[in-house]
Amino acid sequence: MAPLSAVAADPDALAAAEALIREIPDYPEPGILFRDITPLLADAAALRTVIDALTAPFAGEFDVVAGVEARGFLLAGAAAIATGTGMVPVRKAGKLPRPAASVSYALEYGEATIEVHDDLAPGTRVLLVDDVLATGGTLEAAQRLFADLGVVVMGTAVLMELQGLGGRAVVGDVHTVFVA
């Protein structure tokens, strides 16, 4: 998907929204620069601006928004309400209360598994949303998870892409609002 510059959006509103994202050095461990989106989420105008920017390229092309645990849930829920669609959580293994489809994927330090309920009808069109694209492992696993279920991922959108970590090469076509 095209970068945000190709999407009609108010550049001043986007700049104001981006300015609300705090950088927290050495969290959750030394050497990591954490992006805290909590102030952006607390500002109604900024939240609406980024939700519109996340979903605009895919307007009318999806039936449900899927959010990746955990901050992706927050964005996906808001996107679902704004677009009049439903929301599906993509959870870490063991967090769903009934049988689910799952996919495991490699991390730098081991392996992780994500799950989703397996009750979406084949052919359901999904917009996959997360907060940050870093190395891309979790988003790529979510794409595979939905493909295994016969669910069509119409697009993948993230609030922020951390360039230089190779996520875009792993995930493929992804729409980003901010680039860091």
Catalytic (active-site) positions? 71, 108
DSSP letters spanning the chain: ---GGGS---HHHHHHHHHTPEEEET-SSTT-EEEE-HHHHH-HHHHHHHHHHHHGGGTTS-SEEEEETTHHHHHHHHHHHHHT-EEEEEEETT-SSS-EEEEEEEETTEEEEEEEES-SPTT-EEEEEEEEESS-HHHHHHHHHHHHTT-EEEEEEEEEE-TTS-HHHHH-S-EEEEE-
The position carrying tokens 């952006």 is: 40
What does the block give as tokens for 22? Answer: 């705090």
